[in-house]
A and B are shown apart, each in its own frame.
Chain A
Amino acid sequence: MKIELAKKIYSKDSLLIAAQVLSSKLNVYLEESKSAYTVTIEAKRKDVVPAQLAALAGEFGNELLNQEYRFIVGRFNSKISSLIVTQTLMAARGGEAPAAPPAGEATPEFKKLVAELVRNAEAEVARTMPKKIADQGTVLPPVKEQDIV
């Protein structure tokens, strides 16, 4: 399926992001002339009927609009959003260098306490827990057929 999109309205960045977002379902091919992009959409699944392909193309169109609008909103609100993002990240950072461990942790009493806690915990693990088996491979649950896009 081919869609023609005016360059005046849609940016290449939006097209690329929309294609990426839907890359699990679609192959998207892009050609361009002086004033327009021509987008060719192919479903990744081979058994797709024309109505399903039209629906996928609609999904692509929605995502393209979403991305284009996001760029507009981003430009419009860039000052305030940059301020909020910078403020929260800088506050969360808590300073330029990590704080040194507190002096209380350098005392012999503290070190003795920690050594005892570790020793006790390891002894309890050995005494009460099932024997730890070496890595048994992937822990992913089995994938069902219908989960595959």
Chain B
Amino acid sequence: MSRLTALAKGASVDTGSLAAFNFRDMGGWHLLTNEWGQFLMLSSADFERFMAGKVGVDDPLYAELESRGFLKARLDFRQLAVNYVKKNSFQWFPGPSLHMIVVTLRCNQKCQYCHSSVVDPSRTDTDMDVETARKTVDFIFSTPNPTICIEFQGGEPLLNWPVVKFITEYAQAKAKAGNRKLLMALVCNFTLMTEDKLDFLFDHHVSICTSLDGPAELHNKNRPFLGGGEAQQKVVHWLEKIQERCSADPKKKFYLPGALMTTTRFSMDYGPEIVDLYVKLGLEQIFLRPLSPIGYAKRVWKDVGYEAEEFVKFYEKTLDYIIDLNVSGKSDIMERMALILLSKVVKGEDPGFMDLRSPAGAVLGCLAYNYNGEIFVSDEGRMVDHQGDPIFKVGDVAKNDWLSVIDHPTTRACVTASTLDNQPMCQQCAFKPYCGVEPVFHYETQKSVFGQMPTSGWCSSHMGIFDVIFRKLRDPRSRKVMDKWLERDQCRWQESDAVPAGQPEVVL
């Protein structure tokens, strides 16, 4: 069943004066959005007047409707085009900037959801070798985007440390020779971190991110060591150690560690405790991420999964808690999903989040490289291959060049399927200007890269989150907090020389 809302029966509509827009009944007020990314939150009475063509030139609402492109006769095409390009800047990007390299499938943890679909530490045949690593970097530098971000993933990348080092040094040599901008990031579980490795990462400006699902009892349940044992203490230990070193050296302040949490069924009762831990560790942001039924997680969904509506409830409750902490002055921690959506909605900018773009970031914004050199449209696409279905493979670093990857039929299918103008329901949805669909998610859950939005868990959870964010935007107390987040986030990007102006990519 469609989750869209409709006009009241018998509502008066004067189509002659209305520019193209979508709307949503938010209960007592209406949200209006248009293709240029402009929005308005109108009381239901004002919405009815507007629809009936009863907002006159002298009405205070008229100027607002006019400036935001909702009046057909008063469209400022030059300004609206500027807004469109700013909001959809990724449509003009010359190829992907985010390159995720899986240097090994091995891992020393056996996470409940194991997104990355790992193998036992004895499977050294799933380590990337130096020759493949070299070809992978060569392929990455053959793509046309002047900014390259290489992200190490796994398995646990520290299990193949010599190749992580090689890729880092080789990529930096190539970036220097070719005058390319290079960002590097390592996503690891911290359990194999050492002082020597940390020194290397700092010396080579590799930013570090880990997984922290929450308090020990929750984290260790979600992410146990292979064969048993507790991992959370090690994560906390290294987070504190890295924070300490970053605080002591102003040059390192841009390399403050990040942490990501994945929400399982077990997380649902722990919202405030998870936030409190992130606050205690001095982390700037928390990213309340839903679990996706992709790869291994699909197999254990009955044990760790939940309905989209349950996640939205968890999200709203935990976001309320974060806002309360900000209002009371106890913490200034920010929530990343809210920031991503606010950047789109309030600032009219693309924050570089691959999943919420139209078309999606698959190939256009990111590529994933398996340990054996195979290239996939995204890391999720690689996970599907790990389950025995190579549908999202678009090349091999040893055999293919960039043009054959961008011209691959799978690339075209993903781009077409994730263009919201091709999607039933999306094209009428008020959240369309800010949203996106993920072809791999829908292939995994609904057996079609297009998906079926009325029954899609993706659509349900994202519409729910958008509802929450727009309700917060209408609430002055929450709005004040969110405006501060946007100011701070902007300052952070602007201060960092490592981030290219104009097209920052979110590294996850």
Contacts and interface: CB of A to CB of B under 8 A. Distances in A.
A129 to B, nearest CB: 6
Interface of A: 17, 21-24, 62-63, 66, 69-70, 72-74, 77, 80-81, 84-85, 87-89, 91-95, 97-99, 101-102, 104-105, 107, 110, 113-114, 117-118, 120-122, 124-125, 128-136, 139-141, 143-144, 146-147
Contacts of B508: none
Given A73-B424, A74-B422, A144 B166 contact: no
Contacts of B422: 70, 73-74, 77, 81
Nearest to A132: B124
Nearest to B114: A141
A105 B299 contact: no
B236 to A, nearest CB: 27
B130 A21 contact: no
Nearest to A141: B296
B126 interface: yes
18 contacts: A77-B427, A85-B412, A85-B415, A88-B91, A89-B411, A92-B95, A98-B142, A104-B177, A105-B177, A105-B178, A107-B177, A110-B173, A118-B134, A122-B130, A124-B165, A129-B127, A139-B386, A146-B302
Interface string B419-437: 1011110010000000000
B56 interface: no
- Of the candidates A117, A121, A143, the one having the most CB atoms from chain B within 10 angstroms of its own CB is A121
A96 to B, nearest CB: 8
A104 B401 CA distance: 21
A87 B452 contact: no
B387 interface: yes
Secondary structure at chain B's binding surface: helix, strand, loop or mixed? helix
Interface stretch (B155-163, B211-219, B260-268, B283-291): B155-163
- Of the candidates B142, B177, B178, B298, the one having the most CB atoms from chain A within 10 angstroms of its own CB is B177
Contacts of B448: 17, 21
Contacts of B423: 70, 73
A92 B90 CA distance: 9
A139 B123 CA distance: 9
A18 to B, nearest CB: 9
B469 interface: no
Contacts of A129: 124, 127, 160, 162
B291 to A, nearest CB: 17
A105 B174 contact: yes
B401 A140 contact: no
A91 to B, nearest CB: 5
Nearest to B447: A21
B179 A140 contact: no
Given A22-B447, A87-B92, A110-B177, A136 B424 contact: no
Contact of A130 (B124, B388, B416): B124
- Of the candidates B93, B144, B411, the one having the most CB atoms from chain A within 10 angstroms of its own CB is B144
B421 A21 contact: no
